[in-house]
Amino acid sequence: MSSQRAVRLEELEGQFRELAERASALAGGLDRVVLSQRPKPASWSVAECLAHLNLSADPNFPLWERGLAEARLLDRNKEHPFRVDFWGRVLCWALEPPPKFRFPAPKPFHPVAAGPVDAILPDFLDRQRRVLEVLQAVRGTAVDRVKIASPFNARVHYSIWSSFCVTAAHERRHIWQAEQAALAILA
């Protein structure tokens, strides 16, 4: 997986497809016990990593929808390259795996009750499908010129494009974490 920020829609779509494939290969090959088992008491299980990504994705969809409505009012012929802004660059750098440092997830995004283990992967794949639908909808719009607030910190504003790149980096981080958890459990 390339850790470079995408500048074209096709690159970003490919990143989200690859993340779905990695999650499917990982979670699809593990039984319920391994999916739910934490490698250490303070670490997340594979299921918890995916549940966290599900919780983290949900607040983006209404933000993207509102931002996209604004972007449609701008240049309808926007093509590549898209630019990642300051906060997008900082957050992508901080989130890319392996982690450079750790910071706690905000409480609303803790996978306290991950839900039925059998539903976590299908729920994740459904969100990936929805992200790809949003990416299809942004074609021709200036999504790198419209700012939205981060769903994790309302004081941080970045472009819709940057939010897509940050989301991909965040997913790479936690898919990597889930892979490491599985390796530790199966070792």
Q: Domain containing 68: what range?
A: 9-186
Please report whether residue 84 resides in a domain.
yes
Averages of pLDDT over each 10 residues, the chain, 187 residues: 70 96 94 92 94 95 94 72 92 92 79 78 96 94 92 93 96 97 93
CATH number for the domain that contains residue 171: 1.20.120.450
Give me the pLDDT at residue 168, please: 97
Q: Are residues 183 and 106 in contact, defined by beta-carbon separation less than 8 angstroms? A: no
Give me the pLDDT at residue 18, please: 97
Please report whether residue 2 resides in a domain.
no
Number of Cβ within 10 Å of residue 19's Cβ equals: 22
Please report whether residue 4 resides in a domain.
no
Q: Would you list the DSSP string of 5-35? A: PPSSHHHHHHHHHHHHHHHHHHHHTS-HHHH
Number of domains present in the structure of the chain: 1
Please report whether residue 1 resides in a domain.
no
Maximum separation of any 2 CA atoms in the chain, in Å: 54
